Structure 1
Amino acid sequence: MKQISSRFSIAVHILTLIAIMPGECTGDFIADSVNTNPVVIRRIMGMLKKAGLIDIRSGIGGASLLKEPESITLLDVYHAVEVIDKGHLFNFHKDPSPLCPVGKTIEASLLGELAEAQAAMEQRLKRVTIQKMLNQVHVEAHVN
């Protein structure tokens, strides 16, 4: 089963970390926190910058949020890192047989169902903010 790209979860990690430590988060620091290559972090940070969610300081490094954490939704992040292809989360297999009763109708039959599933997921992502992620991080930090 193919999963959604990890860019989304990495981007949420990046934004939450920047919200906790504004101005202190360099690409290398974030890469250590995410436990991935700094090149991956720089690429995703570039996407977040292009989407208007962060500012990146050249030279000395560091990043800051351009919006308040409560105004950045997970849907914003989802769109910023281009998780989906041409607006569609689900893809269809290529060239099913037009001679098969299922093959000739499956895409049309399934399209509406998948569009509804995607819309439901996007509605959920719209309700969750980076501030909520921060609150959860702070709760976990105090519990442990």
Structure 2
Amino acid sequence: MDTKFSVALHILVYISETDKIASSENLAKSVNTNSSHIRKITGLLKQADLISSQQGKSGFSLAMAPEAIGLDRVYRAVYPEKELLHVHDNPNQACPVGKHIQTLVQPSFDLAQEAFISQLANQNLADLITNLYKEEKNK
């Protein structure tokens, strides 16, 4: 399973809340992965104007307030064209099921994708940060 979305959220929360420099190396340690993987995801987040960095200065910062970063925007940053569900390619057109499978299931798949994105749009980075501190308090 692809984890780019959860890693992107991890990166954004870390950047927002750390008192350390949010460098690729520090992010990699927090995520428990390698720096090159972090650089790929931070590149996507920079392209989407969610984070920024300054030449000659180490580390990343949020490009806007956590309240302004909807989780749907983060999802679209790391998966710009991904379909949540995809009908298999090249079904047998001579089969009555294969001939119509896309028409049969695509509307349900589209509704599921819309519901998923809508649910993400109802949450933002600030919500995750609030929940982080609730979790820490409960331990």
Task: Tell me the TM-score normalized by structure 1.
Answer: 0.90
Unaligned ranges ≥5, structure 1: none
- Give the one of 4, 25, 28 matched to 2:25: 28
Deviates more, 1:17-26 or 1:91-100: 17-26
Is 1:55–1:66's contact at 8 Å kept on the other side of the alignment?
Answer: yes
The letter for the 1-side match of 2:3 is S
Report the Cα offset of residue 57 of structure 1. Answer: 3.0
Shift of 1:61: 1.3
Structure 1 runs (4+) greater than 4 angstroms displaced: none
| C-alpha deviation, 1:21, in angstroms | 2.2
Q: Which deviations, in whole Å up to 9, do the C-alpha atoms of 1:52-91 show, x marking residues without a partner? A: 0001233441111111101101100000112643xx2222
Equivalent in the alignment of 1:67: 64
User: When the two structures are aligned, how many residues end up with a matched partner?
Assistant: 139
SS at match of 1:80: helix
Whether the 8 Å contact between 1:22 and 1:65 is mirrored in structure 2 is: no
Q: Distance in 1 between matches of 2:99 and 2:19?
A: 54
Residue equivalent to 2:49: 52
SS in 1 for 2:129: helix
Partner SS, residue 58 of structure 1 = coil
In proportion to residue count, which structure has more helix? 2
Q: 2:103 aligns with which of 108, 115, 120?
A: 108
Do the aligned partners of 2:22 and 2:59 also contact (CA within 8 Å) in 1? yes
Query: Do structure 1's residue 117 and structure 2's residue 112 form an aligned pair?
Result: yes
Q: Percent identity?
A: 35
TM superposition shift of 1:99: 1.7
Match of 1:93 in 2: 88
Deviation of the 1:97 alpha carbon: 1.0
What is the CA RMSD across the aligned residues, in angstroms? 1.5
SS in 2 for 1:102: helix
TM-score normalised by L of structure 2: 0.93
